[in-house]
Every structure is written in structure tokens, then in C-alpha cells.
Amino acid sequence: MGVYMRIRDHDEVFNQYLSKDPIIINDLSNVTEQDREYNDGLIFTKYDLINSDLLSNIPSCECSATIGADKLGDSYIPAVVCPVCNTPVRALHDGDLEPLIWVRAPRGVMEAAPDGKGLINPIIWTMLSDQKGFEKGSFDVMRWICDTTYRPQGIKEPPVLDILRSEQLPRGYNNFVRNFDDIMSFMFNLKYYRKKLEPLKRLVAENRDRIFSKYLPLPNRSILVLEETSMGTYVDATAPVAVNAIRLMVGIDSALSIHTDRVRENRTIKMISETSTFYDEYERNVLAKKEGTFRKHVYGTRSHFSFRAVISSLTAWHRYDEVHIPWGIGIASLELHLKKLLMRDGMTPWEADAYIAAHTSRYCPKLDAMFQELIARAPSGKGICITLQRNPSLGRSSCQTVYVTKVKTDVNIPTISMSILIVKGFNADFDGDQLNCTLALDMTIEEDLARLAPHMSTFDMNAPRTVSKNLSMPNTAISTISNWMGWSLPEVPDPEVIRRMALIPEAA
């Protein structure tokens, strides 16, 4: 069975995968000042740095009403459960980050949807309403259809609205939920969108059963942080959007709520729209930015089964797609492979670990023989498949598939030796440049990486029958010499080859 991406079913998460009871924000009281302070404690995290110069790392419950390391519990005694938020005391960075508060399709919206599933997935909403979807300039057409209060100032209405009005398409979120399939079919077939939205149309069709849900998770308060300092109050630029979205739904179904069904309907689509905006901005500015979370904690750290070293040139006869790696790197990157072979020869796991550690910086004939065995047993027959890549280039040939044919036996040589013929794609040279490498751990990955082979970048993608600038090609004389040096005579010489060679005049 293949592995592919699919929209998450929020109702499935709500009903099956939560480790603690969720808080439904629709039902919270929001009348008194104490109610609002309690709700704010659920929505965002507040640090008071005026009275304390340190961020607290004391174990606490979700609402911070119950704190203390003595309340953590252990394998024999369970952690203390807070009587206010009904969550156990735990360490600040312990456990998975789960949604604490959820919103339920409110009254007046739930009735409009089959099985009460009246909340559209914010990711789907982003795709429908942003520039890749049904947006015209800065005018959000889908928001206009769903939100009867949407009247952007200073933005000219697009011509598509004339068509929607002429078709007498009813506005309002409830109508959108109730007639989603008909509305989307109509929108996808308009001349303004017909050609460019085929992938979005297919995504909607494939995930139709997951687009709407009865429950929707709201951003965890751990990522909505407010800091009060003597210099002022600081908050991440994306946080107010999420906080405002959540506050729209606080107490909307409580006993003291006086909202009409039309107000609930418009508040629901505003909440979904602002939540999707928060997710989009958070991913762009906090996670994926150059100095963002992904680079700090994922791209900026070493991945498993990978290594990085300075490159040097292979001077002996070699294939263009082979590399030689240092001894220490071979030990570290192939540790599990070596450990399995040592255990095959009778060592215990602990003995194998100690043996490998003792020879990380010291040559060992036994491990050398194992390296040669691993190279000989590689499925490709060429050697151990790896990728060579140089950051931060994203150009063609900046990542190439090559094969390890040797682990250097001189432990004092720390470089990766590679062919001069493939360095141009990396925009690298041999003056101290480093490349990073990743092992292909199975045959499937190795087969997929075949498209990154150096020769796959030989020809220019923009000019037919033209050699790509991403590769350096030797001139004719060097190529001829290289071919003659690497040519081995067959056991039975070809008479035609002998005849042609006889015609070559001897040097005077």
C-alpha cells in the first residue's frame, strides 16, 4: 500500500486520540472579569518578567493553578490533577503538544450540516480563499460568499461577483455548508478559475469526507506567548490573529449567550478565516523562515545516517560517481551495519559497541574487511549508495547520487575524495568546501535516487542538444587519453580494431 498525504480528520482525533479531556470553548462562561482571565489563561501563555527575570520552568498543569516538582508523580504515584483545568502536573517540555481547547460547531450552524459537521478544515479554507484559490487581487471571493458582513474597504469588486449575483447565489456560511458540493462545482466551472484549479478540485474530491468536522482544534497556548517586561509588553506578531479568532467563539453556546443564529454563523466563518490566516503566517514567518524553527531544530542539526566533511580530489583512475570516505566517518555512519556483522561473528551487543568505539580513530583489519564486505554486497554492484549535497544551493546538480567504493584506511585523512568531473554542479572546489552526505538505507530509496545521478544533469533543460552548464566536460584530447588508459584488450582481438590501429603512424 502506498504512502501519501491526506487531510486530517479532526473528529477522529477528537474522539480517539486525545490523552486528556478537551475543553470546549463554546460552553465557557465569559461574563465576569474572572471568567475572562481564566479563559485568557487557556488561550495564551503569559510571562511576567517585571517581577521575575527568568521564564519559569516549574512543572505545572495546563492553567498553571497547580505547580511544583513534588506534584509530578513517578512510576508508583500518579501526578497531581489540577482541580481547575482537570489536567495533571507535568514538566514544561514533557509530552506531546496536544490541542487543549476545541471549538464545536455552534448552535445555528450545527443544524445546517449533515451529522452536525459544520466546521470546515482551516487548511482547506486557506486553499480555497488565498491567491491559489478563489481570490481575485486582494478580494476574497469565498469569504464574500460565506460571510455576509465581509465588505473590504478600498478594494474594487471583481467581475466574478456580477456572475454570482446574477445566479442569485445565497450568501452565508450555513448555505455554504449545506450546499458545498453544488457551490464548489459551480465555482470550479467558472471561466475565471476553470484551468488553474484542477489540482485543488482533485484534492477536494479525494478528501471530501474530511473537509468538514463537528470539532476543530484551536492553537495550543504554548505557541501563543505574551511577555510583560519593564520596557513594555511583547507578543509574537502572529499571536493576536489566533487570540482574536479564539475569543470570537468563547461562550458562544453558554447559557447566558444572547447571540442570534446569524451572528453565530458569521462569527464561525470569521473564526475559521482568522485561524487559517494564523496557521499560514505562523508556518511562513515562524517555522519556515530562514531563522525559523525548521532551520534551528531540523535543518541545523545532524540527521540520522548522515555525515559532513571537507572534499578532496580523487587522483587515481576512478569512476565519476564514486567517492572514498574517511575511516572515522565510515565507523560512525555504518555503525549499525558493523555491529550486526560483529554480532554475527559471536560478539554480544555490548562487546560490539565497545569494539567499534575502540577503533573509531584507529585502523582495524577486521573492520576494514567488513567495510569491503558491505561495499561488495551493495545491491547496485557499484558500492554503498549515498547522496552528496552542498547547502544552500538549490540549483540542478546541487544534490547528486554517488557510491562509496572505499573507506580510507589512513585514519589521519579526514576528507571525502570525489571526482573533479562532478564538482561544478555543487559549485564547489577543493579549497576547503564541505559537502553533506546521506545514506540510502534500502533498495527502494536507492532506486528513487537514480534520477539524481550526475549524468542525469548532462543536458540543458532549456536548450535541446546542449550540454548543461551544471557539469564540466573534459576536452576531446583528455577524453581520448582517458579512454585509452582505461581500455582493456579483449581475449580475442577484434580484427577491425587491429586493422585500424595498424593505420596509425608511429611517432618519429
The whole-angstrom separation of Cα 60 and Cα 100 is 14
Whether 343 shows a pLDDT value over 90: the answer reads: yes
Could you tell me if 361 and 260 lie in one domain?
A: no
Kindly state whether residue 476 falls inside one of the protein's structural domains: no
2-10 contacts at long range (C-beta below 8 A, 24 or more positions apart): 6/206, 6/207, 6/210, 7/121, 7/123, 7/124, 7/207, 7/210, 7/211, 8/121, 8/210, 9/209, 9/210, 9/213, 10/119, 10/121, 10/213, 10/215, 10/216, 10/217
pLDDT for res 51 = 63
Kindly state whether residue 147 falls inside one of the protein's structural domains: yes
Could you tell me if 234 and 126 lie in one domain?
A: yes
pLDDT for res 2 = 46
Average pLDDT along the chain: 85
Whether 259 shows a pLDDT value over 50: the answer reads: yes
HSE-up of 225 (CA within 13 Å, CB side)?
10
pLDDT for res 231 = 73
Residue with cell 580513530: 361
Kindly state whether residue 497 falls inside one of the protein's structural domains: no
Could you tell me if 190 and 136 lie in one domain?
A: yes
Kindly state whether residue 491 falls inside one of the protein's structural domains: no
Expressed as residue numbers, the domain containing 265 is 1-57+92-301
Where is the domain boundary, 301, 335, 353?
A: 301
Top pLDDT among 452 and 53 is at: 452
pLDDT for res 56 = 64
Residue 491's Cβ-count burial label (10 Å; 0-12, 13-18, 19+) is exposed
The residue length of the chain stands at: 508
Reported in sequence order, the residue ranges of 326-481 that DSSP labels E, i.e. its strands, are 384-389, 399-407, 416-418, 434-439
Could you tell me if 189 and 268 lie in one domain?
A: yes
CA nearest 416: which of 260, 292, 309?
A: 309
Could you tell me if 339 and 377 lie in one domain?
A: yes
Mean pLDDT confidence for 133-157: 85
The 10s digit of each residue's pLDDT in 151-209 is: 888 888 888 888 899 988 889 999 999 999 999 999 888 887 776 788 888 889 999 99
Q: What is the pTM of this model?
A: 0.64
Could you tell me if 290 and 316 lie in one domain?
A: no
Kindly state whether residue 485 falls inside one of the protein's structural domains: no
Q: How many separate domains does the chain show? A: 2
